[in-house]
Structure 1
């Protein structure tokens, strides 16, 4: 097995240009290791202070796999890295261009009894955040303040030191996690949970409502030792043939940093229509209002068209109309989210996956 892995992995790492999954090892008992990657290039004026057009490279690479214990359980794990991942936004290393760990975890898959993962996991709260995260160049605003208490947190998608349980019981998807954190997280504790129930309405389509919650508390080594964070959200997706609609509402609160409790209230609506195997159209509206914090306001309408070159690779163009207001932080510096809140943005890009 070791010889096969090394002989396959080395050239694959050198030559790989994309991000889904390709088997590089597979045993008769079902054990396997997958290599995956993604490359993308995006021409955009988003995220620049002077609205100049720039080219942005996006690259990911990772390994995932499982080893069979017996017919009831497997050992599972994943390690995924990205160039310039969102982790930089939380000041872990904002000037670095090196690969940053997005997901690094190991665990046990108990099949019908569920999965237990430990590490920097793919949070079960993604069931909720994915309702709004449908665009190729998405900036997901909900839970944006999580990084004020835990620097390793990218919203509630992923954060270090998490022990998580996930399972599907009939039509119910369940996730619960305890966040131990680490020296960088500087957390006393944290926990989260999410539930999604899929309702099959026959010819009328499918409804998938979701509820999500997270709380984290800082420890004495934190830059803000009295800070605590709380997030909750409710939303749903609706599927009918080639149409998918989404709606959500969330609140995101951090206490112990500003003079008062800083609260984000976020409302989003999304629509995705797959015209055929080649063309997909997406639209969305987002409104964010912050009270007693930096005062950021987002009022965004986004349109996107995607053309699929292959089953896994595509070109796309996005236009975002923004009519919000930048905020002001405690240092009296202007804050925004994914670029100026009151400037329109466009993107044209290609994404290559296997």
Structure 2
């Protein structure tokens, strides 16, 4: 019985992407094999810096495989590999077949889990407050790529050792980041905490705080750089309404950077499940950089989702942008694919299984 309960709990612990994984095989001892796939097609006139916003169609897919092997009533070996898959025109580019999460670990039941590799960072507990739209990107921790070339912002970095646990209403995560052979991490780490208050008929309130620090060694393209990130936010849920608010800032200094490049940003989001078929979302995001590329984001996003099935939807969105792309002076420009000045629309079909 304990093995069965453990096997049922493991897929829920596989976090980002694999949270919707399906178990395709269960052994007699409770060991499982889980798969996940997301297929989508998007039409958008979104443009990069210096580009015209002509409508294009993009294929968007993810595929993942993982599972668990039961050691005893308390311990399982777990692992997950998930990749983004691009269309034929992306072949030979960084977007054609790229790893999102690739890790192995140990799940110790109530003692928590330890994962090793390109893990789903605990900072996702913070970024999820703003990452609610099918259309818009996430800019939280955007400067991290200047200190770790393996990083996808703060969500995932190669060579991470991470411990996570839930103690009643408190969720926590701590990680030490070794990096890979090229990212040259030296004393990099993060820590995240979230507590969910049950307000009874008034809903739930969940504050979250996060901190990350990265440093590099004396060699490599990103040598002798120091990076810090911190953020705090709140999520409030009442029946079909979810509200989110978040503030964060990050800064980087060191070799190749004149002074200190600092981002300060905040985000506000609202999600309302109108009925079983329709969901509406709205949000506002502002970011200002000083001492670096001088970029500013001022985005208002409106989005409607129609649920074709429990796992498949059509999304239609419009993003109004009133920012500035910046000069790129002081620090290397980041997110050059992300035009802060041009509005864009998004129409997408997404199918998950």
Q: Do these two structures clear the TM 0.5 threshold for a shared fold by scoring above it?
A: yes
- 2: distance between equivalents of 1:337 and 1:324? 14
For the aligned residues, what is the CA RMSD? 2.1
Which of 60, 63, 70 matches 1:61? 63
User: Which structure 2 residues correspond to residues 35-184 of structure 1 after superposition, within 5 A?
Assistant: 35-48=35-48, 49-84=51-86, 95-184=93-182
- Report the counterpart of residue 31 of structure 1 in structure 2: 31
Q: Deviations over 1:165-194 (max 9, x none)?
A: 000001100100000111122212310000
- 2: distance between equivalents of 1:47 and 1:120? 29
- 1: distance between equivalents of 2:296 and 2:203? 34
- 2: distance between equivalents of 1:94 and 1:176? 35
Q: Deviations over 1:243-273 (max 9, x none)?
A: 0000000011111142111000011000000
User: CA 1:338–1:345 in 2, change beyond 3 Å: closer, same or farther?
Assistant: farther
Which runs of 5 or more structure 1 residues have no equivalent in the other structure? Answer: 1-17
Q: Deviations over 1:72-98 (max 9, x none)?
A: 11000000011259xx9xxxx993443
- Report the counterpart of residue 317 of structure 2 in structure 1: 318
- 2: distance between equivalents of 1:251 and 1:193? 15
- Report the counterpart of residue 199 of structure 2 in structure 1: 201
User: CA 1:332–1:36 in 2, change beyond 3 Å: closer, same or farther?
Assistant: closer
- Report the counterpart of residue 4 of structure 2 in structure 1: none
User: CA 1:286–1:127 in 2, change beyond 3 Å: closer, same or farther?
Assistant: same
User: CA 1:103–1:285 in 2, change beyond 3 Å: closer, same or farther?
Assistant: same
Q: Deviations over 1:112-164 (max 9, x none)?
A: 00000000000011000100000012311110000000001111100000000
User: Which structure 2 residues correspond to residues 224-243 of structure 1 after superposition, within 5 A?
Assistant: 224-243=222-241
Q: Deviations over 1:27-65 (max 9, x none)?
A: 122100011111100000113410100001101111020
Q: Deviations over 1:321-350 (max 9, x none)?
A: 000100122499976565321111100010
Work out the number of aligned pairs and report it.
331
Residue 187 of structure 1 aligns to a residue in which SS? coil
Which of 213, 216, 219 matches 2:217? 219
2:296–2:326 Cα contact (<8 Å) kept = yes
- 2: distance between equivalents of 1:252 and 1:331? 15
Measure how far apart 1:219 and its partner are.
Answer: 1.3
Deviates more, 1:21-30 or 1:115-124: 21-30
- 2: distance between equivalents of 1:226 and 1:330? 19
User: CA 1:94–1:328 in 2, change beyond 3 Å: closer, same or farther?
Assistant: farther
- 1: distance between equivalents of 2:299 and 2:112? 38
1:235–1:248 Cα contact (<8 Å) kept = yes
- 2: distance between equivalents of 1:292 and 1:144? 15
- 1: distance between equivalents of 2:257 and 2:321? 26
